[in-house]
Structure 1
């Protein structure tokens, strides 16, 4: 970790609150559009912001670095304010020689300096000769409020000129129905010339993109908050429109898109503040997402507002326009996707940047990597990879070897033999397991239920088997006519007292059971058929799969694996087979599902990340129609887009982990991660087919199959993750109702 001192989260929160209060007082919502047209009003607001210290952001990381810059600019986006905070921050970050420049006056609020960048990353359109600047530059924001302009010229360098100097001309250039942009023409204007530090042009573009992404996110987030509130009160057909599933799912999608970008923006800013080598990569990923996520989000927000959102008197239109104007600068997402593609496809290519998981997480990553190099390599791994997909899910020898490390109990409490490692250490473990395509081990959800709800005898008897990698559990939830509606399950568990003693008699059917071949089944059954509400009558049982009365009928799945219909006909269990209280299974069951969704979201995105890196490695050496595939512009665009989407999924994973390590249960965010990652796997599979063509459809065993058919198998397997552990539609309803507070 970088040793520099930065503002704390609490201090950032205070800064956000202070800026928001200032804007609410002096830049009221109902006057924002009119105030923006007045150069005097913009300068007055700039003075107030400078008095808050905003104009000095970027001069000293200890007082305010990139995270604070982005935070303040997000608030300007919410308020639809054109105050040139981004210009000031960029100039501060350049660390220029300040003699004879307006920079000191700018920080005091007495100068309003606008950095004029056309945002297209083109060669400077301005010339500097004989201490005078000439040329023109487009898309200059807040030019009507400027006291000075800062202009990029070849060298590279910045030239400062007074806005009222002879030879400075402004032409309004309305765009997206707004009046905020200008074309600046300069005819031999005297100025102050300052050379840029080495590498500054690239940094300047990356800084600007990150700021614009933050402002666009702030505008979109404000519009989203408005539309969520609107959906709670707007009534159609006798009820609030927010209770309609179509509206709930639409707004859940917007929430997912906004959260993914916000996390990526925050991480890119953090990486810059820490001085990490790959902060440009993280910035490019955020900028690519800004273009796709925010434009789609604003369309969906406008659709939800309906006709009311068409009125220019409403807030929504100004945010719609601001988002589109911001995310198209600097070449838009296309330029960022090219940068990402170059990272993965040019030369020997790169891999997704590793996260700093803290001292313990980083050390554990290396420990796991070294262990796998010894225990999952050579002939053992080669032999396993030659098996069919159906037979590669589990490897008994590997499971027992891993069991000897104690890592099956990474997150378990020590009283159960676990290691109580952090969520970040668990991420390190799963990342390394996925990196070498190792098979799964253990039963994390079942173990968690046993630890919370199991009796001391159950814990003593069953948990050590799981910890040693010796026991595999299935989950018996879904039923015909029930599926994700767990409260409707009909499998019965009846208490019996006869010559065989006290026990339970199970009758019913479970479907789509994937780990039917395991040693045990964690079975949900109805113990009170008359319970009100229906979910109150469910209980959980541990069922050894060799118990008489169990019939298994397998089916081959479309992804090359198998699942089973499992029939329970008078299956006799001992009285102590129940886990937890009678009729208390719903709480344990839903808690387990929430836990599993949090785990699954991160696990899925790591699977996609691994498949993505394998795809890039293939594209780097493949040809199509006699040309290198990696030179195809459309291929490069898709690769860059996938990289950014994967980064959003990884950030969601990290966000859930940080909540867990903070002692929270991230129910809604786990659902966000599960929905996004599952559908990302589908999108990745479809994109891979587009990139590679028919050859990618060849399955295992086919001559010429790429990666032994892994590409097409990944797509077929991806469909399961949008349905498993609660369909994504159910998850969207959860996000909308519990996360956004929409009515049921």
Structure 2
């Protein structure tokens, strides 16, 4: 279906707000905590929900498809309401288009609100204990377990095989319902059928396997709603609950715990919605994305539910508290239908079986897709063959930058992709910039440009600075380093001590910077203190552009753990022109944080694209057969671990795209840039560790060693990953930022 025919974001927002208000006024969560009266309460609330129009979702995607079903399921999860929306949605998805009289009659009554459906996958359920039924001469017999709220429903719809359903009236003869307590909660039933009258419904072959995927995504959506409700409650508690004379939300351990939960919840939210969106558009790869979202979501939401209980402590352990209800809901929904393990198995099948398939490429829109093709064609012509082979043969320390490549690509104007046209840029969207970065990463092209510094100059520089420095960057002629960190001021930039003192028409700079990576660039974007008495300390910082050939600069390069280089740089009475200050005197904190916010909004995307490219190299290696042995990709443990990585890459890619969408509307909020950076940086570490486990000792051989796999690519990736976790503000600092800026926890 064309995207223009699907409901808009505004429609989903209105649906969410309407449901939230309705459930808040009409549903008592206490009803779900006990068996007595539950069936009557569910029947009553369903009548109201059908009046809200949710009973028809899934019938026609133009009126509401899987994305809208997810909205409803999320709100039901957050409200602890077990209304049979899941079953109604699956009945619509399975029976719409079916012309059988029994199906038409059931759907009509369902949409009117006079029928309530309990759905079971029966023999198709990946859990062998879910039970099955047999159909003979219009009668059904057998046992079904884990059937939701069956006592409140009028009909049972159950899968017989991949193209056959049965419909059974639950108030008819031969039907016995037994309430089941699971995870300490009521709401599931055993359904025993003994020659119960049943209608046989034939469907298109294989349709019900798709319904299984849709059903699992919807369950994870409900679990997400429950987990988010418990999390929000816990954040409020952490703001108010005092221990040792202060709110517990001020303790770093609590802040980082809750920051981790927010990262997980955002990853689940984005991947679920993306998968549902692709489903409703009938994208060819929607099944892969559904399985990836389910696999990540099942594990992530259970971790969140545990951390919520840990934070609440004993207060959340009492049954009268809402948290236990949400804990139970999360676990019931994420274990059902095979849970994360089944979803990962399906992801592995996609990646490895029948020749295997790489990670699906994102549709970033017509303009971005076209740019991706243009950039790839340029690389094929200008960065291939002997030229690229010669570059790849160099040690890693000499592959971080190539001046000739920078000059060549400078002729395309692509270094200024995101710059405004005022400064000679192309004013491309953030999604177009992602498409370009992705293509350069896949082509293993060296670094270009000085995006952060250029952005700072465009935002805060004088016209003279803009006219002097920006064209050099755009042409690929000048690289700018960042002189931020100092021996006593790593992530704590407000503590920096390098001084800049005005002397007539010059600034005199004295101090030391450490861990400077682009020390070999033409300029240094330097932070220095211009008011040592300023309160707070960050109010006395200014930013400068320092030519690296200025007198008084001493550079002491060092080899990094990942075979790159950084340098300790000493500034001894370095004199630079007065006009080399960027922004106002003592206004450098605004310039510095503005530049870092821009970088953090991009860096998470850059990292995950590196991981995605490295994953494809590992996937091909894992599928290869060597020395007559079976490929590692045949090993179930390897397949499961690779599937886990693939699912986490989807989370990183969705965080990247979300940051780009936020940037298109302005500037990415710092906490979202931090979420993307934290998740993707640590994913790169996990990927590096997994590659060594999967490939073994030979993968530890470094570049240019005999027998090294892919010239030491995999072990070098692991060593390089540490930089992305530490640099630009360590991930611990980023978690504090997420907690304080994103969750409003006290500083």
Q: Which TM-score applies when normalising by structure 2?
A: 0.97
Distance 2:62 2:730 in 1: 46
Distance (Å, rounded) in 1 between the aligned partners of 2:37 and 2:690? 45
For residue 99 of structure 2, what is the aligned residue in structure 1?
97
Q: Give the equivalent residue in structure 2 for 1:700.
A: 703
Which of residues 272, 275, 300 is equivalent to 1:268? Answer: 275
Moved more, 669-678 or 450-459: 450-459
- SS of residue matched to 2:296: helix
Q: Could you tell me whether the CA contact under 8 Å between 2:31 and 2:38 is conserved in 1?
A: no
Within 2, Cα distance between the matches of 1:155 and 1:366?
Answer: 40
Which residue pairs with 2:229 in the alignment? 222
Q: Does 1:544 align with 2:547?
A: yes
The answer to whether 1:178 aligns with 2:181 is no
Which among 460, 473, 492 is matched to residue 480 of structure 2? Answer: 473
Equivalent of residue 107 in structure 1, options 100, 108, 111: 111
Q: How far apart are the structure 2 equivalents of 1:5 and 1:397? A: 48
Using the TM superposition, give the Cα deviation of residue 665 of structure 1 relative to its aligned residue in structure 2, in angstroms.
2.9
Structure 1, residues 161-213: CA drift from partner, whole Å, max 9, x if none?
A: 11122111122332111122112111111111111223212201110011011
Give the corresponding residue for 2:448: 441
* Runs of at least 4 residues off by over 4 Å: none
Structure 1 residues 4 and 589, CA, compared in 2 at 3 Å: closer, same or farther? closer
Query: In the alignment, does 2:600 pair up with 1:602?
Result: no
Instruction: Kindly indicate whether the alpha-carbon contact (under 8 Å) linking 1:4 and 1:62 is maintained by their aligned counterparts in 2.
Output: no
Choose which of 721, 730, 733 in structure 1 pairs with 2:733.
730
SS of the residue aligned with 2:181?
A: coil
How many pairs does the alignment contain? Answer: 740
Q: 1:60 to 1:675 in 2, by over 3 A?
A: same
> How far 1:625 sits from its partner (Å)?
9.2
- Asked whether 1:256 is paired with 2:263, we answer yes
Give the aligned partner of residue 70 of structure 1: 70
Change over 3 Å in CA distance of 1:477–1:128 after alignment to 2? same
Show structure 1 runs of 5+ residues with no match. none
Distance across 2 between alignment mates of 1:105 and 1:504: 81
Q: Which TM-score applies when normalising by structure 1?
A: 0.98
Across the aligned residues of Structure 1 and Structure 2, the Cα RMSD in angstroms comes to: 1.4
- Structure 1 residues 623 and 637 mapped into 2: Cα distance closer, same or farther (>3 Å)? farther
CA distance in 2, matches of 1:56, 1:64: 8
What is the match of residue 565 of structure 2? 562
Maintained 8 Å contact 1:128/1:154: no
CA distance in 2, matches of 1:484, 1:87: 51
Q: CA deviation at 1:232?
A: 0.6
Q: Distance in 1 between matches of 2:668 and 2:629?
A: 53
Corresponding residue number in structure 2 for 1:121: 126
The answer (yes or no) to whether the contact 1:32–1:79 under 8 Å persists in 2 is no
What SS class does the counterpart of residue 135 from structure 2 fall into? strand
- Alpha-carbon distance in structure 2 between the residues aligned to 1:200 and 1:155: 7
Q: Is the CA contact 2:67–2:277 (under 8 Å) kept in the aligned structure 1?
A: yes
Structure 2's unaligned 5+ residue stretches are: none
Q: Conserved in 1, the CA contact under 8 Å of 2:235 and 2:743?
A: yes
Counterpart-to-counterpart distance in 2, 1:4 and 1:197: 27
Q: Distance in 2 between matches of 1:158 and 1:4?
A: 33
Asked if the contact 2:31/2:37 (under 8 Å) is kept, the reply is: no
> Once the 2 structures are TM-superposed, how far is the Cα of residue 663 of structure 1 from its aligned partner?
2.5
CA distance in 2, matches of 1:227, 1:515: 43
Partner of 1:281: 288
Separation of aligned partners in 2, 1:581 and 1:208? 57
Matches within 5 A, 1:135-214: 135-154=142-161, 156-214=163-221
Partner SS state of residue 87, structure 1:
helix
User: Which stretch of the first structure deviates more once superposed, 328-337 or 225-234?
Assistant: 328-337
Q: Are residues 50 and 262 of structure 1, via their aligned partners in 2, closer, same or farther at CA, if it must alter by over 3 Å? A: same
Match of 1:28 in 2: 28
CA contact (8 A) 2:660 2:668 kept: no
Question: C-alpha separation between the residues in 1 aligned to 2:73 and 2:141?
Answer: 31
Determine whether 1:593 maps to 2:596.
yes
Counterpart in 2 of 1:49? 49
Residue 710 (structure 1) aligned with residue 717 (structure 2): no
| 2:334 counterpart (316, 327, 337) | 327
2:350 aligned residue: 343
